[in-house]
Amino acid sequence: MSLEYRYLGQTGLLVSRLCFGSLTVAPMQANLSVQDGGQLIEAAFALGVNFLDTAESYDNYGHIRWALERGWSKRVHIATKSYAVTAEQMQRSLERALRELGRDYIDIFLLHEQESSLTLRGHAAALEYLARAKERGLVRAVGISTHHVAAVRAGALHPLVDVIHPLINREGWGIVDGTAADMYEAIKFAASLGKGLYGMKALAGGHLYRDPHAAFQYVLAMPELTAVAVGMQNEAELTANLLHFTNQPVPPQLAAKLARQERRLSIADWCEGCGSCVSACPSNALRIENERAVVDVSRCVFCGYCSRACPNFCLKVV
Ligand code: SF4
Ligand code: SF4
């Protein structure tokens, strides 16, 4: 059985339902070498995955380029994201993505981690810059990524937003302002207005690995989600995800191996308890105790957002 491909909203991009979530190969997670990460990405492309999600903050454009340069550049679609607020910052983000990915266009450029209509308004200059870049052919579609129901609804109503990348999983893990049902209602609303949607965190960063089949079936049953980005850091995960997305059973040995591979947030001994990470966590999973950061594992979805907030490079998803 082969992977399914669908059009992403009105963007004209025909993407595989399995999107390669590339944060996992990046320095803040598995920290694969450029070649090892690139080989895994290339293997996914060779097996039919034609959609990859990254972000400027993941610092993995080199890994992706390694794969693109092996004949895939014109055959796959790349989505990236930036925290830019101003037009100048977004120009720098776009130029960096083009330069480091070695491409003359980016398929999808998103405003990273939007929360509501207020944050969208705060990023208006960056969004307008992307819309102009789209007119010049440097970007094919523009949008937002978010863990917030309110941002999905705001993006749905925004005329410059083509694509929304929301967090959604069957337990609602990591959704900041509502339940899974609330998020799905917002997704349906956005889809009804013609927005292209692809989900993230279907496994809640690994919490739902005990029953990945049910976790994937939950999101794949949503026709409004064109694709789902799934993080993978080795061939075993790639193989299992391809089986899930083509509705085939995962051999028990492989399933057991993956179930043992639980992720965790590592906090280095040199943490000074400054608290920057606490406010950066959208899931309220961090607190300071005895002058050190402490994570509540039941709330952490391993998004890595705290990692970039730490001035001392203490945080890593391993
Ligand atoms: S930001 Fe870094 S140093 Fe500050 S509390 Fe968090 S982990 Fe510790
Ligand atoms: S603790 Fe860090 S990795 Fe975990 S949910 Fe919060 S920001 Fe994401």
pLDDT tens for each residue of 103-158: 999 999 999 999 999 999 999 999 999 999 999 999 999 999 999 999 999 999 99
Cβ 295 under 6 angstroms from ligand 2: yes
Q: 69 falls in which pLDDT band (50, 70, 90)? A: very high
Cβ 208 under 6 angstroms from ligand 2: no
**Pick among 3.30.420.10, 3.40.718.10, 3.20.20.100, 3.40.50.10860: CATH of 5-259:** 3.20.20.100
Residue 55 has pLDDT above 80, yes or no: yes
- Kindly report the pTM of this predicted structure: 0.91
Q: 308 falls in which pLDDT band (50, 70, 90)? A: confident
Residue 262 has pLDDT above 90, yes or no: no
pLDDT at residue 28, as a whole number:
83
Nearest CA to ligand 1 atom 6: 277
Can 5-259 and 267-317 be said to share one CATH topology? no
Percentage above 70 pLDDT, the chain: 100
Nearest to 187 by CA among 218, 212, 156: 156
Instruction: Classify domain 267-317 at the CATH class level.
Output: alpha beta
Cβ 267 under 6 angstroms from ligand 1: yes
Q: 29 falls in which pLDDT band (50, 70, 90)? A: confident
Average pLDDT over residues 84-91: 98
CA distance 97 to 82: 10
Residue 182 has pLDDT above 80, yes or no: yes
- Domain boundary assignment for the chain: 5-259, 267-317
Query: Which ligand has the minimum distance to the alpha carbon of residue 310?
Result: 1
Cα-Cα-Cα-Cα dihedral sign, residues 115, 116, 118, 123: positive
Single-letter code of the amino acid located at 220:
L
Residue 81 has pLDDT above 90, yes or no: yes
Cβ 89 under 6 angstroms from ligand 1: no
Residues 235-274 as b/e (b if ≥16 CB within 10 A, e otherwise) read ebbbbbbbbbbeeeebeeeebeebeeeebebebeeebeee
Q: Which atom of ligand 2 is nearest to the CA of 317?
A: 3
Nearest CA to ligand 1 atom 1: 310
Q: Which atom of ligand 2 is nearest to the CA of 299?
A: 5
Neighbours of 290 (CB within 10 A): 6
Query: Which ligand has the minimum distance to the alpha carbon of residue 231?
Result: 2
Cβ 303 under 6 angstroms from ligand 1: no
pLDDT at residue 267, as a whole number:
93
Cβ 204 under 6 angstroms from ligand 2: no
CA distances from 20 to 41, 178, 299 (A): 8, 26, 24
CA distance 203 to 214: 10
pLDDT at residue 220, as a whole number:
97
Cβ 109 under 6 angstroms from ligand 2: no
Average pLDDT over residues 231-243: 95
Cβ 146 under 6 angstroms from ligand 2: no
